[in-house]
Amino acid sequence: MVEEKYKLIPADGIFAVKVQQADTEYKGMAYIGSRPTINGMNRNIEVNLFNFDKEIYNETIRMEFLHFIRGDVKFNGLDELKAQITKDKEDVLSLLGR
């Protein structure tokens, strides 16, 4: 794998993604933002891979951003955030195919 010296990070929000880990490709959704609902301060990039249960922290992955789902939003509590995450996942699966 070739590492790129210069990289651009997309805008804050939720994205449908494909991730290559080792020799396997996974569907998932990525979040870029500062976690405003939980008073986050630093910008983060997180990815949720569907049908995946391995520990791969500190391993290299390749992530391809396929679709922008929505912008980053501050919700009125964790229950509202969890409900939106469930909807986001359904939207991503609809776009990428189950």
Domains and CATH numbers, the chain: 13-96 (2.40.30.30)
Encoded tokens for 86: 């469930």
Q: Which helix (H) or strand (E) holds 95?
A: helix 78-96
- SS3 assignment, position 19: strand
pLDDT for residue 1 is more than 60 = no
**pTM for the structure as a whole:** 0.87
pLDDT for residue 6 is more than 90 = no
Q: How far apart are CA 45 and CA 34, in angstroms?
A: 9
What are 74-97's pLDDT values in tens digits?
999 999 999 999 999 999 999 998
What would the 3-class secondary structure string for 22-91 be? CCEEEEEEEEEECCHHHCCCCCEEEEEECCCCCCCCCCCCEEEEEEEEECCCCCCCHHHHHHHHHHHHHH
